[in-house]
Structure 1
């Protein structure tokens, strides 16, 4: 008599090395500049909250209930930390992503209709076309080199979408210039300095800031695009939707500088973070052939021989689960920081005004009190029934509360259409060393994502 079916092999992808002892200030700086997540101690993956003092008192929060209080119930009392604002401002100014209080509220009210479901559905054909081009580029790259870097390929795919959606095509924005500017920003301004750890005021120049002035800058690129639009006929793209958007309460519209900062926030975040989710998803499927075959079978059944379209989305359940699990293991925004404006209590501990709160989303998503076998790749965690029992603030790839990512629906639709299209066309296998998850502002695959792609029915 046959016994029970053997359990599928356990797939544990690469993870960040954890700190196993307290770090000195210099060790903290060195690790944070190399990979911010390396300062997260091992206890953070097993305790609801940690507290300590470096220069200022800090608290590392992994408890879903406490996170709900910080990100929803008392969001006005926990704005972004000064260090976070310093890192973000050179690229996206006081945009919706970086603003606080009343300045944030009016921008959010003005921008919300732009990301309504009806607009997302209208944008799906742009995503479909970009997915089809990505599938062809992978074939070209395989023919030329015998391998691909999935991260580079996905950056190209999501940039196609951004250009068509945001700017009605790429003729007004140079992809290479933007890519160079983003990389320069991540490698210079996007790094924490000793001055940040010592709580030196943000107006004191950091060495990286000085270096950045010699590199490409994103803001002049967008200023030129906006100036060219002033006398141009209206277009059905994000630029014009944002250009004419207004706060329903005050009637206020964005100034050219506000429009620039918000467009850059959308381009940088939408371009980079979606590409990261797709890159990690492709790598995870490449090292788990059974999961890949299941996702590929679903995609081919829904799509046939064509690219994914909006009508196919309801049939792509498992493909969606793969993306959600990829963002659990490798959340693009893997580490957030807030500052307490008022006294409070979290997890029974006192919080004093001025304390720094660190929200290590990477550790939350791999927490041993919240997830079974947290370091393993298992898309069935996100099956509809399994997700029902999960605390809303246990899984935060897009944040939560009033400041949840306004582009979440856009990003999920784009990622699902691209991943399904690629899986229906190609089978993927790893090629070369495993990528190292390393974070400055986003959780990137250091070394790239080397894969081989083979066509097959």
Structure 2
């Protein structure tokens, strides 16, 4: 029976199971303090389709590969960006991450050529060189006390992004990483307050955000001005393509805002997810000594003492599996939210128009029906044979469907190169007594950064 037929016959609408509305205050507290526990509690307690009422919001949470496939790939036109990114638009603007419809299609069309496989392969040398600089910094700190690995990975990934996508040196913009923390904090504040707090209120967090946004605006203007002074060179990088695309705008204020929104989104998405993945990877590697030995042996066998090249990706198979297993346990985009544009039926349950629909890679990647010993770090689960036995949509670290992450190949190459280059000569060790806690913001980052001691291998 279709949704329309059910309404016409007066049939009672089916809704997924979930916590009672009397649990609202408990759920609100979890939303504020432990969003991962909220999603895991819902999945563990109510199954693969859950209705979670939190104050004025009701989430329809689906935690099964078939349902993820339907929302993200089979019927994506009915599901626009939802809670989280919908509220984050006030912080991020209308960049590729938050835009919809024709604007999103135009933005994707503009930047897609910069991520073509041939172009990414040509950037392997730049990625390896930036990684070598980072390894040199770590080597100089061996035995000298803990290093903030998250900060190192952020500097690295911003350097890679500047060279590979923007054809610019970002080393002179040291505040970008901290500014994006303020942007993420504000975006998540918009989520947990459901966008009800005016941005003009002089709250400390909002003041930090406004200052960070102003600095990021200045960065985008400096990048645009610098590019305008250059002639020749690679005119197919993302910055050149963005500048060309906004020239058609009649209103210079609109052009300025579009360029800011798209560059800020690119800078955030282009460095944050990979930096977070690398931080989690080094933490997990440290916790598993047998992984350390296999990574070191592979890196030394494949690379020797030279820099990696694009063709090495096919031979760094165990390192690739380590990255994939890291993103299973700690997917950089931990939640995919959508808003239903029209009524629908998922898993036999009626989804009303305007409903908030959620797919959570963090819980989906731990689903016991598809992952043996789901809490354990086991890179070998990504060998070819075991991978073929799982549903395709049981693992979606880069999303799926039309909004599949455009930078996935660059991010994977970067992560594999960095881990191989670090592990062939160094060991990163968590100090005794230190705790590592996930912080689910727009990305799943390590709360407070990750401080590790550097030892020579």
CA shift digits 1:177-211 (9 cap, x unpaired): 21221122223333245541xx7599997955465
Provide the residue aligned with 1:147 in structure 2.
146
**In structure 1, C-alpha distance between the alignment counterparts of 2:388 and 2:208, rounded to whole Å:** 48
CA shift digits 1:436-457 (9 cap, x unpaired): 011121111114323233223x
**In structure 1, C-alpha distance between the alignment counterparts of 2:265 and 2:397, rounded to whole Å:** 17
For the pair 1:230 / 2:232, whether they are aligned, the reply is: no
Task: Count how many residue pairs are aligned between Structure 1 and Structure 2.
Answer: 426
Provide the residue aligned with 1:40 in structure 2.
39
Mark the CA change 1:82 to 1:293 in structure 2 (over 3 Å): closer, same or farther.
closer
Tell me the CA shift for residue 245 of structure 1. 6.6
Structure 2 residue runs without a partner (length 5+): 1-17, 247-253
Provide the residue aligned with 1:4 in structure 2.
none
For the pair 1:213 / 2:185, whether they are aligned, the reply is: no
Q: Secondary structure at the match of 1:334?
A: coil
Tell me the CA shift for residue 278 of structure 1. 0.9
Structure 2 matches for 1:41-120, cutoff 5 A?
A: 41-45=40-44, 47-54=47-54, 55-81=56-82, 83-91=84-92, 93-120=93-120
Provide the residue aligned with 2:440 in structure 1.
439
For the pair 1:333 / 2:333, whether they are aligned, the reply is: yes
| Bigger shift: residues 20-29 or 210-219 | 20-29
**In structure 1, C-alpha distance between the alignment counterparts of 2:312 and 2:64, rounded to whole Å:** 37
Structure 2 matches for 1:306-385, cutoff 5 A?
A: 306-385=306-385
**In structure 2, C-alpha distance between the alignment counterparts of 1:147 and 1:21, rounded to whole Å:** 46
CA shift digits 1:115-167 (9 cap, x unpaired): 10111011111100011111111112235x32323212211211221222234
| Bigger shift: residues 29-38 or 129-138 | 29-38
Tell me the CA shift for residue 169 of structure 1. 3.8
CA shift digits 1:234-289 (9 cap, x unpaired): 4424322444479xxxxxxx955434322222211111110111111111111101
Structure 2 contact 431–452 (Cα < 8 Å) conserved: yes
Q: Secondary structure at the match of 1:269?
A: helix
Structure 1 residue runs without a partner (length 5+): 1-18, 247-253
For the pair 1:177 / 2:175, whether they are aligned, the reply is: yes
Mark the CA change 1:274 to 1:298 in structure 2 (over 3 Å): closer, same or farther.
same
Provide the residue aligned with 1:274 in structure 2.
274
CA shift digits 1:200-229 (9 cap, x unpaired): 599997955465224453233212321332
Q: Secondary structure at the match of 2:174?
A: helix
Mark the CA change 1:447 to 1:229 in structure 2 (over 3 Å): closer, same or farther.
closer
Mark the CA change 1:83 to 1:380 in structure 2 (over 3 Å): closer, same or farther.
closer
Provide the residue aligned with 1:251 in structure 2.
none
> Superposition RMSD on alpha carbons, in Å?
2.7
- Could you state the TM-score of these two structures normalised by the residue count of structure 1? 0.85
Structure 2 contact 182–208 (Cα < 8 Å) conserved: no
**In structure 1, C-alpha distance between the alignment counterparts of 2:151 and 2:161, rounded to whole Å:** 15
Mark the CA change 1:23 to 1:127 in structure 2 (over 3 Å): closer, same or farther.
farther
Structure 1 contact 95–258 (Cα < 8 Å) conserved: yes
Structure 1 contact 226–256 (Cα < 8 Å) conserved: no
